[in-house]
C-alpha cells in the first residue's frame, strides 16, 4: 500500500483497538520486487504469523514499458502470476492468516499532465486492465479483494477530490480505501472475526491509575 494510506489506516485502527501493524511501502515498487523479499518479510517458520495481510500492487506494474527497459512496468501476465505466488505464499503461513488484495486504483490523467508532464506512462485504462485481472485472480483463489478502480470512481467528484497529483491519494481518497478495508473486515466470515468489536481485550479498558486534579 502507499505510505499515506497505510499511515491513515494504522491511525484509524489504533484508535479503535491496540494492534501491532507493520508498514511496508516503498516508492516505485511493483509485484516483481515484492516476490524478491516475500520470504524475508513473511518467513514460513516465524513463531508468530500475521492475522491479516493487505497486499497492494498494480499501480506501478500497470505503467507503460520504458524505452530504456527500466522502470516499474510489469507485463500483465507476469503481474497476475506474481500476485498468484504472493497469495499462495501468504495462505501457507497459517490457517488464521487472512488476506485482502487491493487492486490498482484509477488515475487522473489531466492532473498528472499538469503536475508531471505528458510522458509519465500511466493511463486510467491500463489501471482498469490490471484491476480487473487482480479481481479475477482473487475470485479464482478465494481471496478477499477490493476493487479500488471502481470504489474511488463511485464518488462523483473523484477526479478532483481523490488525488494530490493525479496518482497519489489525498485524504479523501485514503478515507475511501480505509472504509472499504474496514467493510471487508467487518463482513468477512472469518473465524476469529477480525473486526475491532469482536477482538478479545488483553488488558482492562479502564485505566487502573486514578488521575487527580491539582485541588484533589
Helix (H) or strand (E) holding 160, with range, is helix 158-161
Q: Which three cell numbers stand for residue 193?
A: 472475526
User: CB of 4 within 8 A of CB of 168?
Assistant: yes
User: CB of 9 within 8 A of CB of 177?
Assistant: yes
Mark 181-202 as b/e (b = at least 16 C-beta within 10 Å).
bbebbeeeebeeebbbeeeeee
Residues contacting residue 215 through CB under 8 Å, at least 6 positions apart? none
Q: What is the pTM of this model?
A: 0.83
User: CB of 58 within 8 A of CB of 103?
Assistant: yes
User: CB of 58 within 8 A of CB of 130?
Assistant: yes
What is the fold, at CATH topology level, of the domain defined by 3-187?
Rossmann fold (3.40.50)
How do residues 132-142 score in pLDDT, each as one tens digit?
999 999 999 99
More confident residue, 202 or 84: 84
- Delimit the domains of the chain by residue range: 3-187
pLDDT at 1: 45
How do residues 174-193 score in pLDDT, each as one tens digit?
999 999 998 999 888 877 66
Amino acid at each position: 500500500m502507499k505510505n499515506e494510506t497505510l499511515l491513515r489506516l494504522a491511525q484509524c485502527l489504533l484508535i479503535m483497538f491496540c494492534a501491532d501493524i507493520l508498514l511496508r511501502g516503498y516508492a516505485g515498487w511493483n509485484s516483481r520486487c515484492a516476490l524478491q523479499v516475500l520470504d524475508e518479510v513473511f518467513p514460513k517458520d516465524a513463531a508468530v504469523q500475521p492475522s491479516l495481510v493487505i497486499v497492494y500492487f498494480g499501480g506501478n506494474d500497470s505503467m507503460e514499458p520504458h524505452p530504456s527497459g527500466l522502470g516499474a512496468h510489469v507485463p500483465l501476465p507476469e503481474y497476475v502470476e506474481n500476485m498468484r505466488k504472493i497469495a499462495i505464499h501468504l495462505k501457507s503461513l497459517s490457517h488464521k492468516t487472512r488476506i485482502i488484495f487491493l487492486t490498482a486504483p484509477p488515475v487522473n490523467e489531466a492532473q498528472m499532465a499538469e503536475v508531471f508532464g505528458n510522458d509519465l506512462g500511466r493511463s486510467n485504462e491500463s489501471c482498469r486492465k490490471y484491476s480487473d485481472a487482480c479481481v479475477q485472480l482473487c475470485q479464482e483463489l478465494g481471496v478477499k479483494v477490493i476493487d479500488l478502480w471502481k470504489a474511488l470512481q463511485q464518488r462523483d467528484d473523484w477526479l478532483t477530490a481523490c488525488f494530490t497529483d493525479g496518482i497519489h491519494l489525498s485524504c479523501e481518497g485514503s478515507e475511501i480505501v480505509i472504509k472499504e478495508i474496514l467493510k471487508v473486515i467487518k463482513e468477512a466470515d472469518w473465524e476469529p472475526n477480525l473486526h475491532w468489536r469482536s477482538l478479545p481485550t488483553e488488558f482492562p479498558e479502564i485505566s487502573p491509575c486514578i488521575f487527580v486534579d491539582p485541588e484533589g
